[in-house]
Amino acid sequence: MITPQLLSTPHEQAGLTPPTAIVVMGVGETQMLRPSEDLLKAMSRLARTRFPQACRSGGCGICKIQLLEGSVRPLGPQSRTHISEKDEAERMFLACRCTPCSPVRIEVIGKLRRFLIKDQ
């Protein structure tokens, strides 16, 4: 006999991966990421001014973040020019090259900071 698993949200009931919360320190609001969406796309929705598109492939490094809570998975390689092995060990990533596996709290440390953080 198969015991049905209780599904707690409409997303889970429909067999979908639920959106994941991202909190950007200094912004003061939470943004929800769609499944498999990179962190940079969610950050662009939080921008207080016109948001530069950057390269979106990990080559320019302006979307460098530090992961304070939660976990991410890579969407491709990160440029060692911008993220060293030491940076990676300290939980630094390029927002365009990762997506969250759980709710995350991040600090923007790249050049995009001025487009997101008040009083910059």
Q: Is 113 helix (H, G, I), strand (E, B) or coil?
A: helix
Question: How is residue 3 annotated by DSSP?
Answer: P
| pLDDT of res. 87 | 93
| pLDDT of res. 1 | 32
Token pair belonging to 52: 């530069």
| Cβ(35)–Cβ(16) below 8 Å | yes
Task: Provide CATH code, domain 19-116.
Answer: 3.10.20.30
Q: What is the dihedral of CA 34, 36, 38, 39, to 10 degrees?
A: 50
pTM metric for this prediction: 0.75
| pLDDT of res. 7 | 37
| pLDDT of res. 13 | 42
Q: What is the pLDDT along the chain (120 residues), one digit of tens a residue?
A: 333 333 344 444 444 456 788 788 777 778 888 777 888 888 888 776 666 766 777 778 888 999 999 999 888 888 888 899 999 999 999 998 998 888 899 888 878 877 777 665
| pLDDT of res. 77 | 83
Q: Where do the structural domains in the chain lie, given as residue ranges?
A: 19-116
